[in-house]
Structure 1
């Protein structure tokens, strides 16, 4: 696993450096400074820009336990192509499951001032079981997604969707989506329905997502308002409704998901970050659309065999597929201490971390062919990270205690490395 992680990180870093060098060599000297700044900004948003098409770096290369190496290309047309229309697509291939995944989509802008778009998409891909994706998060980008390396519980989905993006206020972004999906778990799973047990199913859903940043500062651009200075707290709310017997949908359920992020800044680069995430599902909800608590620990015998990459907001000592809930709350506190001023360029930073999760499930017996636990007693872990020790790499140490403390002492430890790169 360590060799795979290192190779994965090396490929990403090499690709980024080579892309930047190529761009700089081909820029006009008198425009080099401006173009370089624009290039770095695009790269930080996850795009490698070209004249008419911006390549999306999210699809370049990834790794997980089900697909193995996942690689491909994707992107979206830019304003040079059209300011009113856009086309976005990707095609990837998993070398372990020997299967192509893809998405084809596009949109047209209704109103420029409020940056209102109507989007259409057709997607044939995988999604992690128990995960929640906020519609307004689709452009959040990480060069490296640590949890992805160890995930093995996915479900296939073929989804047709139509969505409306609208900037209701500078600080309030909304997105509404209507979708029809065919869901097929890649693992043994059954759910009782109408005197039988179904193993794959259809869903017809409506989603409404709100991203509210009331304390951020915004400025007007040619493409509407843009955030110029981040302010906290930030709030995200999403409501999902599944309708049975609509386009052959098998389930009738609703979900409400919430997240808030708050940063408390002090002097000398010292600050605290609080993240609160919660969700509740009502009705007949399959496991694919319930909640895990962002676990990031693999089931191996020793601490060093479990050595991998620490996530950003994940529970490092919680094993994958250990818990599922239909209602849950997670709380995370990170306190960033003043960086160690060893030299002008070498400044490692110590981060103190505490995480807590609590949840429950009303009818766990409805989820057949799979076993998992409950979080109703409350799950706690604490630890620390030392970041930016060498080329963005650091170390993480976390300990599991409280109600879900394990009998074998070493099973409660998680020792991993971290990876932090900022542009």
Structure 2
């Protein structure tokens, strides 16, 4: 493992240093062609990358914090078109100061077709994943200087995964990705999965996934570099289907999952709109807790409101406590109304956002999951609140109140007060 980590660090550092090497005077005529424009640089930075000549440094891995690893820091990156338009390397290495463990990924790919942007990728990953999290393969990278929920997560499982994936663009508005993977899973917490008269504390998963991202109303612009997305249109649709296979070597369970998400914006005027997000998922078969669903909780189990004061998430339930609910089928609806910013000065324009969130779910065979306590969402979960964003240096405040079927006896336990962070590059 240490050899692999050293290889990743050496490769990333070498590419980054070489890409920053000064050009000779006789190359001065090519400086404009070789350097990124300010607009492109800011766009890359906003996507979470610091671009250099041959490699884009991935800013996600520089420094993070969570309850299990403490401070998590490292280095990662992906090679760009200047390195090769046919091949790419995508790797990282990080270290957790609380669990005293390196995590890393060694990955790469090659392009099969430029017209359909078809890539075949291979990767080997030794890292952590949040239990109950469900992500779409085709999700665009979302980057922020904070990953709000990450600060408070404490329920992780270790995974060593080998994956083969194929990315393919059917059209400018329809993207797809197919993945085949095997993983060795080991929860970092006390958990036993009882199935077929056997008790599993760790297990192997062999799975296939296919994910489709359809944005039918996106508009595109043609420039000298080809086609580039100019404007996002709504609604947007994401569908993912996955199947886990039981076999004698690398698969302990058969289970099936379907995940769906749609996002729509109702535009009222140039500065005011309402955003609605519907997310749903269902898992059938012999599914361990690691691969089931939470409902994006973001509240610490502490006694007072001030002790629970942290960072509000983007689409998380701010009053729902971590590890409070898990489901094998669930649906969430989130509504956000963005009020026209208050024009205090030309530069200082705070914005009020009104928020309502609802979730419902359930779980069959809950007795399979031992040594961990949680509830279901069968009665329906509701919260409402508001945010005042960009009050000072991108920071704002968030308030939410929990009501309905899971309203708690103590008033203070139903209230979440947090700060937000929004910045436009």
* TM-score normalized with structure 1 length: 0.91
Q: Which of 317, 322, 325 is residue 323 of structure 1 equivalent to?
A: 325
Against the structure 1 CA distance between its residues 172 and 308, is the aligned structure 2 distance closer, same or farther, given a 3 Å change threshold?
A: same
Q: Secondary structure at the match of 2:348?
A: coil
**Conserved? CA contact 1:337–1:349, under 8 Å:** yes
The match for 1:87 is: 89
Per-residue displacement from partner, 1:145-167 (whole Å, max 9, x unpaired)?
Answer: 10000000000000000000000
Q: Return the alpha-carbon distance in structure 2 between the equivalents of residues 123 and 213 of structure 1.
A: 30
Counterpart in 2 of 1:98? 100
Question: Residues 305 and 416 of structure 2 are in contact (CA less than 8 Å); yes or no, is this contact kept in structure 1?
Answer: yes
The aligned residue for residue 113 of structure 1 is 115
Cα deviation 1:287-332 (Å, max 9, x = unaligned) = 0000000000001111111000100100000000000000000000
Work out the CA distance in 2 between the residues paired with 1:182 and 1:221. 45
1:147-193 deviation line (CA, Å, top 9, x unaligned) = 00000000000000000000011110000000000000000001113
Alpha-carbon distance in structure 1 between the residues aligned to 2:327 and 2:39: 45
2:70 maps to which of 65, 68, 71:
68
Partner of 2:358: 356
Distance in 1, matches of 2:228 and 2:68, equals 38
Give 3-state SS (helix, strand or coil) of 1:136's partner. coil
CA distance in 2, matches of 1:297, 1:221: 46
Q: Aligned residue for 1:393? A: 395
Shift of 1:344: 0.4
Among 244, 247, 264, the alignment partner of 2:246 is: 244
Equivalent position SS for 1:102: strand
Indicate the residue corresponding to 2:6 in structure 1.
none
Does the CA-based 8 Å contact 2:182-2:250 persist in structure 1?
no
Matched, 1:371 2:365: no
Mean alpha-carbon deviation: is it higher for 270-279 or for 216-225? 216-225
Q: Does 1:149 align with 2:147?
A: no
Q: CA deviation at 1:226?
A: 3.2
- Separation in 2 of the partners of 1:145 and 1:126? 15
2:50 to 48, 51, 56: 48
Closer, same or farther in 2 for the Cα pair 1:222/1:323, shift >3 Å? Answer: farther
Cα distance in 1 between the residues matched to 2:228 and 2:201: 44
Q: Which of 389, 406, 409 is the aligned partner of 1:407?
A: 409
Q: Does the residue aligned with 1:266 lie in a helix, a strand or coil? A: strand
Q: TM-score, normalised by structure 2?
A: 0.91
Is 1:292 matched up with 2:265? no
**SS at structure 1 position matched to 2:412:** helix
Q: Does the 8 Å contact 2:195/2:286 carry over to 1?
A: no
Give the number of equivalent residue pairs: 399
Cα distance in 2 between the residues matched to 1:221 and 1:180: 41
Name the CA distance, whole Å, in 2 between partners of 1:293 and 1:222: 44
CA drift at 1:265 = 1.1
Q: In structure 2, what is the Cα distance between the partners aligned to 1:222 and 1:113?
A: 15
Q: Is the 8 A contact 2:195 2:368 kept in 1?
A: no
Could you tell me which runs of 5 or more consecutive residues in structure 1 were left unpaired when the two chains were aligned. 1-22
Q: Is the 8 A contact 1:353 1:383 kept in 2?
A: yes
After TM superposition, the runs of 4+ consecutive aligned structure 1 residues lying more than 6 A away are: 221-224
Partner of residue 175 from structure 1, selected from 154, 174, 177 = 177
Partner of 1:126: 128
Distance in structure 2 (CA, Å) of the matches to 1:371 and 1:184: 18
3-state SS of the aligned residue for 1:88? strand
SS in 2 for 1:374: coil
Equivalent residue number for residue 13 of structure 2: none
Secondary structure, counterpart of 2:138 in structure 1 = helix
CA distance in 2 between partners of 1:79 and 1:86 (Å): 8
Shift of the 272–364 alpha-carbon distance from structure 1 to 2, 3 Å rule, reads: same
Q: Which structure 2 residues correspond to residues 3-22 of structure 1 after superposition, within 5 A?
A: none
Unpaired runs of at least 5, structure 2: 1-19
User: What is the distance in 2 between the residues matched to 1:222 and 1:369?
Assistant: 59
What is the alpha-carbon distance in structure 1 between the residues aligned to residue 407 and residue 165 of structure 2? 44
Shift of 1:63: 0.4
Distance 2:145 2:238 in 1: 23
Per-residue CA deviation, residues 22-81 of structure 1 (Å, 9 max, x unaligned), is x9x99x999599622221111011110111111001111110000000000000111111
